[in-house]
Structure 1
Amino acid sequence: MPTFVRTRLPRLAWDAASWVIASAVVTGVVHWHLSPHQWAIVASYVVAASLLQVLVGLALKLYLGRYRLATFDENVGLAVVTGVVSVVLATFSVSLYGLESTAVALSVLCPPARAAVHGPGPGRLPDAPRPRTAPPHRPRASGSSSTAPATPARSWCGSSGRTVPRPTTWSGSSTTTGSSATW
């Protein structure tokens, strides 16, 4: 499965869905009995917010790996994207619908509700750590009488995929003040 589909797509979907949930919470708190015209305002706000979240998030590389997952930098990036989306939607909805109570309520209450609803979300949980194992060693050359391996022992250096020589023996005094300790 490609990395984008496995790791980034759930985050993108959760960010868009958080606008839907926030709009439902705001609509439920304000009033349940909306006219068809007001439901159309809510629906257009939800669709526009979800699309803008995805577009601004992609433009700021929120879903393309610019920020490390579940870090302060990613939270700042999410706040910036939410702020941009809320300012654009507030400007658009007030200019389109005027000062109608539903448009103003959505523009003012949805961004904080979205931030509260968003939380870590299912797509924001850190990935499981990968096992850090050393790469396999090559077998000794046949006919070799030496007991040492044909290649020196190597240590695996994290996620970079590089290996470095690892010392195999320790020689020196066992005291910490001795300066004759060498590898």
Structure 2
Amino acid sequence: MKKTQLFTTKNLVRMALMASIASVLMYFEFPLPFLAPDFYRMDFSEVPVLVAGFMMGPLAAVCVELLKILIIFFIKGSYTAGVGELANFLTGCVLVLPPVLLMQGQPSKKRLVVGSVVGVLLLMLAAGLLNYFLLLPLYAKLLQVPLEVYIQAGAALNGHIVDLKGLIVLCVLPFNLVKGALVTTVAGILYARIGNQLKRY
């Protein structure tokens, strides 16, 4: 979809609606205690982002993702000076863009599956790198707690975790694998069922 076609009144309303739904879904976050410590929480806020992308294209998905982050930022504020929000935006984009891009032109179940797999793998990579090099060290500094506390929380779930690398490999990566798989599956099923109806409005 061209930029001139995207930024119509109709599509702006659609994007605002999807961003609003996504920001609400961010409040319904929950842990996956069998995979990662409680400070890792998942939500389904990327589902409306994906649906928006399927409806209006990749630029719309990026806009909805950005709007979602901005809404939450202005409502809740940030104790990471925006770094956590930026990381959330980046990981959201790497998850949703591959399936959205592959579904452009000739949408099919195969393209959706391939795009979703690529998106989930990129999410795992991005989350692993961001947590290792930026997020966990930053949170430890801002909250004034030793980084070892996060590692010990992971070790309580998995005795093989003895350092930060172990936490990333054995907790962060599986957590994001499950999160990405659930989000893309729900979005794909939802769009398959109501996508045609949504395009009419």
With the shorter chain as reference, the TM-score category is: 0.3 to 0.5
TM-score by length of 1: 0.40
Determine which structure has the larger helix proportion and give its number: 2
Q: Look at both structures and tell me which one has the larger radius of gyration over its CA atoms.
A: 1
